[in-house]
């Protein structure tokens, strides 16, 4: 039994007097909560400088690594909040999935909502496709495949809870390591009680879901800002150890901005 710690501390990628872009490690909460174990990025930032009223502009799931935009004052928080409402803040993710997706481009449009607790679903936060749910659109660009897996570049056009994970599961390409939307949703509850086990390792392959927030664009003082963060070391290593995996050239990937 093992409860997993972040493999590295958060890293500030860009910072000025009004905002910062931070690399959040996996197994690190975005925001503190009483229900989940572990330290949070917001607490880490307060420890760096508790005179700053840090405010997260968006969040990442606990196991997702990568870029987060953080405001350092109320004015910048409001400014970025308006951009979020107008969908002017764009994001891009690397995802490693089960199955070999051999296509140049795929667009998923499927509304999302809470499934609700029932005999078929014990997990309160679990999302699913709901006809009366919120609009959710995800664009997918394969960047490699082989050995039963794919490397995908994912651009969510909307920002719904667990959107990427649910949409990839919908098309039968769930994210490697996903305890909630992968082969057995009960792993989500088992992990919270027992930690990482040999059974999970055999089935999930990775101790965290293979999703990495790699691209962020936003506007600041009239100028477009873009930040790119390469695939995290643990996910890069997984691909290197996957026999038969090959990266491919997808020209659409370079249109990330």
Q: Give the start-end residues of each E strand in 11-105.
A: 11-15, 19-24, 55-56, 65-71, 90-98
At residue 39, the pLDDT reads: 80
Mean pLDDT, to the nearest integer, of 156-172? 97
Q: Which residue has the higher pLDDT, 31 or 214?
A: 214
DSSP helix, strand, coil percent of the chain (3-state; round to 5):
20, 30, 45
Catalytic-residue membership of 61? yes
Report whether pLDDT(196) > 50. yes
At residue 255, the pLDDT reads: 61
- Spatial CA neighbour of 163 closest among 192, 140, 186: 140
Per annotation, catalytic residue among 5, 18, 23, 61: 61
Report whether pLDDT(1) > 50. no
Q: How confident is the model at residue 124 (pLDDT cuts 50, 70, 90)?
A: confident
Mean pLDDT, to the nearest integer, of 115-133? 88
Query: Which region among 8-22, 35-49, 202-216 has the lowest average model confidence (pLDDT)?
Result: 35-49
At residue 38, the pLDDT reads: 62
Q: What is the rounded distance in angstroms from the CA atom of residue 155 to the CA atom of residue 104?
A: 14
DSSP per-residue string spanning 87-118: T-SEEEEEEEEES----S-EEEE--EEE--SB
At residue 175, the pLDDT reads: 98
Mean pLDDT, to the nearest integer, of 50-70? 97
Query: Which region among 3-12, 44-53, 163-172 has the lowest average model confidence (pLDDT)?
Result: 3-12
- Strand pairing class (211-220; 65-71): parallel
Mean pLDDT, to the nearest integer, of 109-137? 91
- High-pLDDT (> 90) share of the chain, %: 82
At residue 193, the pLDDT reads: 87
Mean pLDDT, to the nearest integer, of 191-215? 94
Q: How many residues does the chain have?
A: 257
pLDDT tens-digit readout, 96-109: 999 999 998 999 99
Q: What is the rounded distance in angstroms from the CA atom of residue 249 to the CA atom of residue 156?
A: 21
Mean pLDDT, to the nearest integer, of 206-222? 96
Q: Domains in the chain, please, with CATH?
A: 11-255 (3.30.2350.10)
At residue 13, the pLDDT reads: 97
- Strand pairing class (65-71; 19-24): antiparallel
Q: How confident is the model at residue 256 (pLDDT cuts 50, 70, 90)?
A: low
pLDDT tens-digit readout, 24-35: 999 999 988 766
- Mean confidence (pLDDT) of the chain: 93
**H or E stretch including 165?**
helix 163-170
What φ, ψ does residue 189 adopt, rounded to 5°? Answer: -70, -40
Cβ proximity of 40 and 31 under 8 Å = yes
Secondary structure in 3-state letters for 37-75: CCCEHHHHHHHHCCCCCCEECCCCCCCCEEEEEEECCHH
Mean pLDDT, to the nearest integer, of 36-64? 91
Using DSSP's 3-state secondary structure scheme, residue 127 falls into: strand
Q: What is the rounded distance in angstroms from the CA atom of residue 242 to the CA atom of residue 98?
A: 12
Using DSSP's 3-state secondary structure scheme, residue 129 falls into: strand
> What is the reported pTM?
0.94
Q: Residue 153's beta-bridge partner residues?
A: 94, 141
At residue 254, the pLDDT reads: 57
Q: What is the rounded distance in angstroms from the CA atom of residue 254 to the CA atom of residue 257?
A: 8
Q: Residue 224's beta-bridge partner residues?
A: 219
Q: What is the rounded distance in angstroms from the CA atom of residue 54 to the CA atom of residue 71?
A: 6
């Amino acid at each position: 039994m093992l409860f997993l710690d972040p493999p590295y501390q958060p890293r500030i990628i860009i910072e000025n007097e009004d905002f910062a872009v931070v690399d959040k490690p996996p197994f690190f909460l975005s925001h503190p909560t009483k229900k989940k174990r572990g330290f949070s990025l917001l607490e880490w930032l307060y420890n760096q400088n508790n005179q700053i009223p840090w405010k997260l502009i968006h969040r990442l799931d606990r196991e997702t690594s990568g870029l987060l935009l953080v405001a350092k004052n109320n004015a910048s928080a409001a400014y970025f909040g308006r951009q979020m409402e107008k969908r002017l803040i764009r994001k891009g993710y690397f995802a490693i999935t089960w199955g070999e997706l051999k296509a140049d481009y795929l667009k998923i449009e499927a509304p999302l909502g809470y499934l609700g607790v029932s005999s078929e679903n014990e997990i309160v936060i679990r999302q699913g496709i709901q006809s009366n749910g919120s609009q959710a659109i995800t664009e997918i660009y394969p960047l490699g495949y082989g050995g039963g897996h794919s490397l995908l570049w994912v651009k969510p056009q909307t920002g719904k809870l667990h959107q990427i994970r649910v949409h990839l599961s919908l098309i039968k390409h769930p994210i490697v390591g996903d305890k909630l939307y992968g082969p057995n949703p009960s792993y989500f509850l088992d992990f919270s009680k027992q930690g990482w086990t040999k059974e999970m390792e055999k089935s999930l392959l990775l101790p965290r879901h293979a999703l990495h927030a790699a691209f962020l664009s936003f506007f600041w003082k009239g100028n477009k800002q873009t930040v790119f963060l390469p695939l995290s070391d643990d996910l890069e290593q997984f691909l290197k150890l996957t026999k038969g995996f090959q990266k491919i050239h997808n020209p659409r990937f370079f249109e990330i901005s």
